[in-house]
Amino acid sequence: MTVRFAPSPTGLLHIGGARTALYNWLLARGSGGRMILRIEDTDKVRSTKENVDHILEALDWLGIDYDHGPLSQAGHQPRHLEVIEQLRQSGHAYEFEGSTRLKVPDEGETVVRDLIRGDVTFKHEAIDDFTIARSDGSPLYNLAVAVDDLDSEVTHVVRGEDHLSNTPRQAMILEALGHAPPVYAHLPLLHGPDGKKLSKRHGAASVQELRDAGYVREAVVNYLALLGWGYDDKQTFFSIDELTDLFTLDRVSKSAAVFDEQKLRWMNGAYLRQLPAEQLTARIEAFTGREGLAGAVELCREKIQTLADFWPLAAFFFDGPTDDPKAREKFLDGEGRLRLQDARAALAGVEPFTTETIEDSLREVVERLGAKPKQVFQPVRVAISGTTISPGIFESLELLGRDESLARIDAAIDAA
């Protein structure tokens, strides 16, 4: 089996394109076949080196490698021109107002055999003779794609459903050259949860945006694989090796797949919680550009779903309390300030300063004051973090240590 991924370098790699690349890669690796990366760069204005680099960067982050390429479609133009002349000489194409058109039979039909959609029939009477070369002689998309697939000995073309309408034209070009078309499989389109075509309004729309939003490769690959494919009704989590072994086109749906970033967040959180502490810390440190985060990572790991969730939750450990006037006004004024003073006095005598002894001490304050736990714990939380949302209050106090915790509480009391 030889497959190809052939993106146009017009910007960042869209999630739909990433899924197409992944499906091709899984087929090639699962069958012991080959994967070709071909850059369809005939649009000279949009096909910049920067855009090509975006595609290569995204594939590298996803772990999708290839056996040949990246090939340049524009660099293959001499071969395209040779085929155009061959089609003219054989009578399958003719010149029209300077351009070159392929002759389409008046009668009959072209049947595209699609592994996902079954046989799709296109009546010739509904297809006009179509242009394969512009008046300046440059080849058009359908001609270039058909020739490139032929010359690369591509056996299976797996691409988005939006390309299905192009397929009979490419098949007719190959037939005119005396060759059978490859096997086709057109993947369902991606929609957002609202049923509309996936776009930026649904959240991240490219691989780089997912990476920069703190998603990890394993979760993204797992989730992309499930956008239109499923192994059974029970299994949701797949390792990359499992996907390579299990993926087949006959389990790909015809229906549009829904990309729901909330589901991806949930899956990503599950992957983060499964990581050993050292690996999770290393990833978060690389993502944030900070070091020495191990203790805070351990406290936050159950509360985060992406790598980006960590720093807003844990920054106060390293940069001091944040400034949340509403939280301070609600919990550090009046009775809240008095309860904070009681908590401070209790914490000053805690020995050793550990999660367990800290909790015992603060719960004694709650009981002695006849207060609700929140009425004591929240003033302490706001004093040390600046906000009402943080990791566990007892664990946070231990990680900060006695001196830093008391210093922050003193500062909050003085400012109240």
The catalytic position among 44, 49, 200, 234 is 200
3 state DSSP class of 191: strand
Output the average pLDDT for the chain.
94
- pLDDT-derived band at 200, boundaries 50, 70, 90: low
- pLDDT-derived band at 346, boundaries 50, 70, 90: very high
How many CB atoms are located within 10 Å of the residue 266 CB?
14
- In this structure, CATH architecture of domain 2-72+189-265: 3-Layer(aba) Sandwich (3.40)
3 state DSSP class of 153: coil
CA dihedral 378, 380, 381, 382 (to 10 degrees): 90
What does the alpha-carbon distance between residue 150 and residue 152 come to, in Å, rounded to a whole number? 6
Do residues 219 and 268 lie in contact, with contact meaning Cβ atoms separated by under 8 Å? yes
Instruction: Tell whether the model's pLDDT for residue 334 goes beyond 90.
Output: no
User: 150 CB contacts (<8 Å, ≥6 apart)?
Assistant: 174, 177, 179
Give the per-residue pLDDT at 96: 95
Kind and range of the H or E run holding 384:
helix 373-385
Q: Which CATH class is domain 325-415?
A: mainly alpha
Give the residue, 47 or 32, on which the prediction is more confident. Answer: 32
Cα 362 to chain centroid distance, Å, stands at: 44
Give the per-residue pLDDT at 194: 82
Answer whether 0.85 is exceeded by the pTM.
yes
What does the alpha-carbon distance between residue 159 and residue 187 come to, in Å, rounded to a whole number? 6
pLDDT digits (tens, 9 = 90+) for 295-329: 999 999 999 999 999 999 999 999 999 988 899 99
Active site residue 200: yes
Q: Which CATH class is domain 74-187?
A: alpha beta
